[in-house]
Amino acid sequence: MRAPLPATIADEDDGRLLQLSGAELAGRLVQRYGERVTGHFVMEGREGRYVPLPDDLPAPVAAALRTRGVARLYEHQGQAWAATARGEHIVVATPTASGKSLCFTLPVLTSVMTAGKKALYLFPTKALAQDQVAELLELNAAGELGVRAFTFDGDTPGDARQAIRLHGDVVVSNPDMLHQAILPHHTKWAQFFENLRYVVIDEVHAYRGVFGSHVANVLRRLRRVCAFYGVTPQFILCSATIGNPAEHARALIEQPVTPILESGAPTGPKHVLLWNPPVVNADLGLRASARSQTNRIARTAIRAGLKTLVFAQSRLMVEVLTKYLKDVFDHDPRKRPRIRAYRGGYLPTERRQAERDMRAGQVDGIVSTSALELGVDIGALDVTILNGYPGSVAATWQRFGRAGRRQQPSLGILVASSEPLDQYLVRHPEYFQDASPEQARIAQDQPLILLDHIRCAAFELPFRAGDAFGGQLVEPWLEVLAEEGVLHREGERFEWIADSYPANAVSLRSVAEGNFVVVDRTGGRQAIIAEVDYSAAPLTLYEGAIHMVQSVPYQVERLDWTGRKAYVTRTEADYYTDAIDYTKLKVLDGFDASHAGRGECHHGEVHVVRRVAGYKKIRYYTHENIGYGNVSLPDSELHTTAVWWALAQRTLDEAFERRQDALDGFLAAATALHTVATVAVMAEGRDLQKAVGSGDGAWFATPDSSGHARVHTGWGDEGVDPHAPFIPTLYLYDAFPGGVGLSAPLFDRRAELVDRARQLIGQCDCRLGCPACVGPVLASDETAARSMKELGTAVLDLLADL
């Protein structure tokens, strides 16, 4: 049910009566702040394309839909119905708010009512799961359908669980629960599995990278358990807009998938603004904060009578922005609050109340974390403002998609922070307009991940020596597990005999255990506030490090390396810390190679050794270096996959006067390439790393405090033998032992990456170089013959297939 359009809102502050549409607001913002708007386009509205309700839809379901105001289906919902009726797996990748739910609700309800079948829904969050159940139950009540739907997650009380297993028609859960609680106890679910028909998985674009690789394996285990009960379930997947939804869906379930990509839902025109805060210090390339811009835009929008939703990246930022807006709009405590905050950490009852108020149209401005990104229904909105880039183009569109009442123009604004990725995206409106450059990838056969899941699968059901798992013969893996002592081989059978529960030791979000926990000891307490990957720990948890958790700074007092614990306390320090880390890379094996411009590009296996030698203390805002600290931690070693580019000595000698220039160019090029590559494969944070060094591991280069390359051979400062062959190499490697599937697609797209990196540098507003393109440089670089930008461009030109 949609909330009614608001009456025009009187702005009590200045007594003006303003009511603008989203389009008008966009126009005004561009007029007043044109130089900050890096992109402005309109996605045209669309008429709806409809099909009648299917004939074979059971009458009670059709009646229930009609009482809810649905008398016909959108075209894509009709296609989903037809495809599932043909027994096909489908992936629905239409935009947000296009009615994807009905694509799975109708087939599921029909199978429950006509054939007594069951369905399993997997959602990434509990809030979304609860929302789905609520919606199903409403439809159920409207048509008296007799369908029993329940959530089954960590909060489900013990005595309710047995009832759900036996009587649930639709069980709504999440991948972690499936992995840890349902599959290892599948005999308790025997009746459910025996009658299972549909498995619905929402937000599948989120199952990428390490997490996606794990989930793909959990699905392999699910299919294996289903086969034990004689069942082959049919999958209905939903995805946000990414570049490869069909391919990704197929990789996740290892079956052919019918894609449904065109939405038949009507939309009003969508205005999109990309906003870059103004430069406030040209020398250092510093910009105003995203927060200051968001605040201003939100105020203008709310004063203009537009319902506004602001997305912030952290809970702290939600509180900060809410305070700014409340200071303006809610200073009279006698009146109903117009501004509300919404984030995880609030009690579920508080959040449900907030959602109800929003649906009822009583809130004018909402500030939220990504907790509201997904399908929770909060009524109609006019404007969404993103404070900082949410990490992927797909996530950006999902958040933009929250705004828009039927046929009314809506407005989405992305405000960039100073992070290189933000700066890169905000200058490329075409990424948001045209086909997405993002492709979701998984590495479901990553050895450590696969081993963990074969171990879990062996706990669930015994294996025979000739069996396969995920298309591979499983016997060598079983032998490894037998040597580990958890399996016992008897003839052809491998059975679980250990006194342990393997699923508890496998986290779906990391590669093997070994993660560090961050323990807050402020005020004498002992609270675990965060978890950090084993590979990121030496860079962020050394003693003395300032470590941010949800944008709140803590200082690491003690690091217990073997115990995998970091003890921190809250700090008010006015600086942040930056680890000085030396990385040495050596090529072990090449899988593939090709020419790249006048150089070469390779894909293969590398050995990476990383040492954190110390850290710099850097004052906020001014970026002055105010001190150093020592770090003594063990080296990290890594065998992983990588993509690398190299140029021959002769080519470099022709193009550059000095070797130092060539090295600076490589460092600059590496920064730009890393940014574009991260976007291209939708890598998360630190999943993809960069390095510049010699292909044989003889030396490597890191930026010094002025951003220029300094070469190291050992771990000290010795220079390179000027007579040795000079073949600098630029590496992009996966940050996990064994790789995580990023290198292969990067190699396939190598020409595109070099091209985009050249454009990134070329289009950057800075003069000599800045963190957004080639890395930070000093203003004193003005005297240099060629700037870092020029040098980076020169290297990329040599690598480009012009």
Virtual torsion, Cα 631, 633, 638, 642, nearest 10 deg: -10
Token digits of residue 533: 């990957």
Report CA torsion sign: 446, 448, 453, 455. positive
Residue 345: CB minimum distance to another protein, A:
29
Q: Which is nearer to another protein, 322 or 636 (CB)?
A: 636
Q: Are 612 and 542 in contact (CB under 8 A)?
A: yes
Closest to 642 measured CA to CA, from 708, 737, 521, 550? 737
Residue 497: CB minimum distance to another protein, A:
6
Q: Which is nearer to another protein, 40 or 564 (CB)?
A: 564
Closest to 271 measured CA to CA, from 474, 414, 395? 414
Residue 779: CB minimum distance to another protein, A:
41
Residue 541: CB minimum distance to another protein, A:
12
Question: Rounded to whole angstroms, how far apart are CA atoms 165 and 154?
Answer: 15
Closest to 322 measured CA to CA, from 271, 363, 288, 360? 363
Closest to 389 measured CA to CA, from 294, 513, 287? 294
Q: Which is nearer to another protein, 185 or 336 (CB)?
A: 185
Residue 467: CB minimum distance to another protein, A:
16
Question: Rounded to whole angstroms, how far apart are CA atoms 279 and 113?
Answer: 62
Residue 443: CB minimum distance to another protein, A:
13
The CB density around residue 60, as the number of other CB atoms within 10 Å, is: 16
Question: Rounded to whole angstroms, how far apart are CA atoms 110 and 107?
Answer: 5
Q: Which is nearer to another protein, 56 or 490 (CB)?
A: 490
**Positions of E strands within 620-699:** 625-630, 636-646, 688-694
Q: Which is nearer to another protein, 430 or 513 (CB)?
A: 513
Residues making up the chain, counted from first to last: 802
C-alpha angle 258-198-471 in degrees, rounded to nearest 5 = 65
Residue 124 carries which side chain, given as an amino acid letter?
P
**Positions of E strands within 683-723:** 688-694, 700-703, 709-712
The CB density around residue 782, as the number of other CB atoms within 10 Å, is: 11
Residue 678: CB minimum distance to another protein, A:
22
DSSP-derived pairing of the beta strands 565-570 and 552-560: antiparallel
Residue 455: CB minimum distance to another protein, A:
10
Q: Are 361 and 379 in contact (CB under 8 A)?
A: yes
Helix/strand/coil percentages in the chain, nearest 5: 35, 25, 35
Burial class of residue 358, CB neighbours in 10 A (0-12, 13-18, 19+)? buried
Q: Which is nearer to another protein, 5 or 588 (CB)?
A: 588
Token digits of residue 219: 């699905």
Residue 157: CB minimum distance to another protein, A:
16
Q: Which is nearer to another protein, 188 or 359 (CB)?
A: 188
Q: Are 665 and 750 in contact (CB under 8 A)?
A: no
Residue 544: CB minimum distance to another protein, A:
21
Residue 603: CB minimum distance to another protein, A:
19
Residue 248: CB minimum distance to another protein, A:
25
Q: Which is nearer to another protein, 141 or 505 (CB)?
A: 505
Per-residue H/E/C for 156-214? CCHHHHHHHHHHCCEEEECHHHHHHHHHHHHHHHHHHHHCEEEEEECCHHHCCHHHHHH
The CB density around residue 512, as the number of other CB atoms within 10 Å, is: 17
User: What kind and span of H or E run contains 666?
Assistant: helix 659-680
Q: Which is nearer to another protein, 196 or 777 (CB)?
A: 196
Virtual torsion, Cα 226, 232, 236, 241, nearest 10 deg: 90
Q: Which is nearer to another protein, 582 or 656 (CB)?
A: 582
Residue 117: CB minimum distance to another protein, A:
20
Token digits of residue 207: 């199952």
Buried b (16+ CB within 10 A) or exposed e, 114-148: eeebbbbbbbbbbbbbbbbbebbbebbebbebebb
Token digits of residue 113: 């009512």
Residue with tokens 């003395």: 544
Residue 459: CB minimum distance to another protein, A:
4
Question: Rounded to whole angstroms, how far apart are CA atoms 211 and 218?
Answer: 11
Burial class of residue 759, CB neighbours in 10 A (0-12, 13-18, 19+)? middle
Q: Which is nearer to another protein, 476 or 524 (CB)?
A: 476
Token digits of residue 677: 């590559």
Residue 201: CB minimum distance to another protein, A:
23
Q: Which is nearer to another protein, 52 or 590 (CB)?
A: 590
Token digits of residue 124: 């990434």
Token digits of residue 418: 């100073």
Residue 605: CB minimum distance to another protein, A:
11
Residue 451: CB minimum distance to another protein, A:
6
Q: Which is nearer to another protein, 474 or 761 (CB)?
A: 474
Residue ranges in contact with another protein by CB under 8 A = 184-188, 190, 447-448, 451, 458-461, 476-477, 479-480, 483-485, 488, 490-491, 493, 495-502, 511-515, 534, 562, 564, 636-639, 736-738
Residue 478: CB minimum distance to another protein, A:
11
